[in-house]
Chains A and B, each alone.
Chain A
Amino acid sequence: MTPLPVITGLGFITSIGNDRATVLRSLRELHHGFERHEFLGNPDLSVKVAGTVKGFAFPTPNWRDWRWPGEFSVDRELLRGLAPHGVYALCALQQALTDAGLAPADLTDGRTGLFCASAGSPFLLGHFLNQMHANRGERGNPMGIVSSIAGTLNFNLAAHYHISGAVCGFVSACASSSHALGYAMDEIRLGRQQRMLVVGAEDMTDESILPFASLRALSTNPDPATASRPFDVRRDGFVGTGGAVALIVEDAALAQRRGSRIYAELAGWGQAGDGHSVAASHPEGAGLGAAMRRALADARVNAGDIDYVNAHATSTPAGDRSEALALHAVFTAAGAKPRISSTKALTGHGLSLAGAMEAGFCALAVAEGFIPGAAHLTEPDPVCAGLDLPRASLDEAPRLVLNNSSGFGGSNVCHLLRRPS
């Protein structure tokens, strides 16, 4: 029998909650995680809002000054090699392992792999490079590289948990952790691994978010209640966030043997490039449409079978329009009308974290029997006419859910989650 990847554990450190129950409540009741935030201590900047991660503090690059909620344990041996998002990731992974009923000793026999995604830590990397220039290269923090470059999550977590299966990091900007999850599914389907730990994370720092202002990609709406409003006609950019989400993916046979709770089956995935622009989405969402079709084909289902789409929509004028057109091409054209929402209206855009975070939300929707509403949507963009964007969360149990992600360079990834049979 072909192995079937299923999700058996979830861990959340997000702007809308640092545990599953809080995240679930935020999604059901549409509580956002935004606060006013003064970037770089400069009140003159037009970007005013961020999706803050509560209970954590990284006031300086020195790990001795960092704080995290007391229920999580972070050894200093590990801490010295971590970025802020590495701390988030460790906390999320501790949660997910507990949720899945796994102990660290269960992860070391080579049958468990680890796929991670983050952009690295611009906050730490900038600090270390400044230090290096200041002392003319005569000094460096020995952990400077492993704590700050992209890959820091897999370096640290693989060593800490003694992972001897597949270990890799994925870099496709805002599709990164979606790629990590997609390829983790393949590791299981190909019989290479029985279990995959998938972790997406990003720093929630000015250095990670503010550079997107140069692309005019960030919202300048100062109101936390409306700054992120995907598909709304008045949307003006995304709100940045950070955090970490960990998913435990196992072969269904192993999960059943262990008696694990199965949140959702991972029925298929697809990816496609736009072949268009380094930064902008294809104007008609060509790659995203192709990725959705490939995910449907991989799972052997039709557009009409999909109950809910967790859209990538980040609240940028061009990106949301492009996705709406892709959704029309795949669903409306096929006479299908799934429920659609972007939970970035609540969380903000988590960049490399986004895909895993939203896969986690989709798993909750499938397991708990609800559909997250399209928060902050008052006047849908006319391009969305004919798309079903429920304003409130619905007590409807979706059987098949599609999770969309798109990244720079037109990298599009879609996962298909299914209610366990």
Chain B
Amino acid sequence: MNMDSSPSTRTVASGSPIDQAEALRHLPPAARAAYHHFAASGEVQSLDPVILAILEDFIPRKADRPLGEYAGDTRLVDDLGFDSLAITEVVFFTEDLLAIRIANEEIIQVRTLDDLRGFVRRKVTERLAV
């Protein structure tokens, strides 16, 4: 199966509100705490450990050390082994959790850990500004 990650005009709408407890259940306690801090404070930088935990959860092959120890310019596909399926899963999960919309052409611009952290911060900031 070849998941389509090519540029398209399709934007995935965020679905109905999700069960946050169920969505967060598999993330480690520190990431859950960070998410709750973000939810209470609106501080988008609190999401960084949440993003790393989501990546840890969907990474096809477990990395040899925690993703937090990797440099910001580490590439998701070439260095960490993400494939289009796993990226799609990360996108869907993140959209649902953070109530944001991520277009295919946006996500293919995201190549590194820093790109992703910055991208999510920006998308959430835009959403909070509305």
Instruction: Please report A residues at the B interface, Cβ cutoff 8 Å.
Output: 62, 64, 75-77, 80, 134-136, 138-139, 141-143, 145-146, 155
Contact = CB atoms under 8 A, between A and B. Distances in A.
Contacts of A138: 12-15
B26 A64 contact: yes
Given A64-B26, A76-B62, A138-B15, A145 B1 contact: yes
A406 B117 CA distance: 57
Contacts of A145: 1
A146 B26 contact: no
Given A139-B15, A139-B96, A146-B1, A64 B57 contact: yes
A135 B17 CA distance: 9
Contact of B61 (A62, A76, A143): A76
B12 A76 contact: no
B61 A75 contact: yes
Contacts of A80: 60, 85-86, 89
B15 A135 contact: yes
Interface in B1-22: 1, 3, 12-16
| CB-CB nearest 8 A-B residue pairs | A77-B60, A135-B15, A64-B26, A142-B88, A138-B15, A142-B85, A139-B15, A138-B13
B92 interface: yes
A283 to B, nearest CB: 44
For A62, A77, A146, which residue has the most chain B Cβ atoms within 10 angstroms? A77
6 contacts: A64-B57, A135-B16, A136-B15, A143-B89, A146-B1, A155-B1
B85 A143 contact: yes
A190 to B, nearest CB: 30
A420 B16 CA distance: 62
A284 to B, nearest CB: 45
Contacts of B13: 138
Contacts, number: 39
B90 to A, nearest CB: 11
Contacts of B3: 142
A186 to B, nearest CB: 29
A321 B11 CA distance: 59
Given A142-B3, A142-B92, 16 more contacts: A62-B26, A64-B57, A75-B61, A76-B61, A76-B62, A134-B16, A135-B15, A135-B16, A136-B15, A138-B14, A139-B15, A141-B92, A142-B85, A143-B85, A143-B89, A146-B1
Contacts of A146: 1
Given A62-B26, A64-B26, A142-B88, A77 B15 contact: no
Contacts of A135: 15-16
B33 to A, nearest CB: 19
A141 B26 contact: no
A76 B89 contact: no
B58 to A, nearest CB: 8
Contacts of B57: 64
Interface string B10-44: 00111110000000001000000000000000000
A139 B92 contact: yes
A80 B16 CA distance: 24
Contacts of A62: 26
Contacts of B1: 145-146, 155
A334 B57 CA distance: 63
A139 B85 CA distance: 14
Given A64-B26, A64-B57, A76-B60, A142 B12 contact: no
B71 to A, nearest CB: 23
A141 B60 contact: no
A136 B14 CA distance: 11
Contacts of B12: 138-139
Nearest to A78: B60
A139 B91 CA distance: 11
A77 B83 CA distance: 10
Contacts of A136: 15
A81 B92 CA distance: 16
A141 B93 CA distance: 10
A142 B86 CA distance: 9
B82 to A, nearest CB: 10
A260 B8 CA distance: 54
Contacts of A134: 16
A141 B61 contact: no
Contacts of B85: 80, 142-143
Nearest to B14: A138
For B3, B12, B60, which residue has the most chain A Cβ atoms within 10 angstroms? B60
Contacts of A77: 60-61
A139 B97 CA distance: 13
